[in-house]
Amino acid sequence: MGTAHGSLQNAYLKFKAYHAAIAKLDELVKAGSWQGTKPTQGVIKDLFCSRSFYSSHFTKFNKITDYPDLQRWLEDHPDKGTDLEVWGLKKDKYIFSDIDTFVAQKGTLVVPVEESEEEEDNKGKKRKGGKGKKTGEGEKTTGSKKGAKKKSFFFLFFSLIFQLFVLWFWIILLGSVPKTMAMETAMPEHPFPDIPFSTFAQFIQQHFSSNISLPTVLLLLFSLTENPDLLNLHAHQQHPKSSREKRSVGSAWIKTLSQLVKDTCDQRQSKILKKADLRGTEEDVISSLGTKFDLLAKVLGLFPYNDRGQFTGKLLPVSDKRPVFCICPDAYECETASCNS
């Protein structure tokens, strides 16, 4: 058993041992094998801790029945996740009050920032542009005289050539720019993450280096928004469907993304992780970064499962937020001879 969090883990083992002793005692009494007076539950509790301490602290373990990952961590199971994977926040020591926070936040110690009231009217409305169709009106020849068949033939011939030219022009025009725009609007997209900036900023401050730069933060954000297929595969490994599939909190997909991001930051000499996260082997560093990416994806809403583990739908490409462009001259001062500049 690890020494860093031994007090909480030892308490959980005592809690389980107490219930095992109660079950064994009931079994012996029922079978008639118990000799003497049956001890009360309070007497058995005294073997592990004081009765008041059991009521005020040990009973908190009854709340974690829906969190098997935390149970494996408390049991120090060989297949348990890391501190960051299980608790969502790495600490030097975990205490009983952390269990209350963990359960209240539905499986994490990360306390979300209360969202400020946003103006709902700021949501962009899609512009619907009507497509107008121009129809060419063919000129009709009237008042043609009998016997002018040759003149009528040349008129119809040139009229046909003109209409073919107009048709060819519209085919070229509609086949270039509008076709590209139609393909972009027709492709289904996932909306860009719409969370308060304060929530995003607090997450970055809690999990990454305090000296992280703006370009590095944007690299982290766009590495998630531009890889929906990878996030789909990663989420599936956390929620396997077949009994032959192995559940993995830190999948190979998210670790691969973490390795690529770390290599990019190393080339740029950009700081990304805290000093505490850099301790250990290279594999430990990548696993820690992968866990942070997993948590950030869930904060951004880029995860195809809800809090109850129900599949909500495959992640789609994230729609990009286009900036506002302004047409202006490239000369920032007068350059004519009369300016005397």
pLDDT by residue (tens digit) across 41-62? Answer: 888 888 888 889 899 999 989 9
Average pLDDT score, the chain: 79
What was the pLDDT predicted at 270?
A: 80
Buried b (16+ CB within 10 A) or exposed e, 292-315: bbbbbbbbbebbbeeeeeeeeeeb
What's the pLDDT score for residue 137?
39
Mean pLDDT of the region 91-108: 89
For 60-89, what is each residue's pLDDT tens digit?
899 998 999 999 889 888 888 898 888 888
Pick from 139-148, 244-253, 304-313: least confident: 139-148
In the chain, which residue ranges form alpha helices assigned H by DSSP?
Answer: 6-31, 41-46, 51-56, 68-74, 83-87, 96-104, 149-174, 177-186, 197-207, 214-225, 228-238, 252-268, 282-299
Tell me the C-alpha distance between 66 and 289, whole Å.
26
Mean of the pLDDT values across residues 235-261?
83
Task: State if pTM tops 0.75.
Answer: no
What is the Cα–Cα distance from 231 to 251, expressed in whole angstroms?
A: 10
Q: Residue 169 has which token pair? A: 């022009």
Q: How far is CA 316 from CA 126, 132, 154, 234, 236, in A?
A: 19, 31, 57, 14, 15
At 260, is the pLDDT very low, low, confident or very high (cuts 50, 70, 90)?
Answer: very high
Tell whether the model's pLDDT for residue 143 goes beyond 50. no
Instruction: Give the pLDDT mean for 148-164.
Output: 79
Percent of the chain with pLDDT over 90: 9
Q: Does pLDDT of 167 surpass 70?
A: yes
Residue 186: pLDDT band with limits 50, 70, 90: low
pLDDT at position 29: 86
* 256 band by pLDDT with thresholds 50, 70 and 90: very high
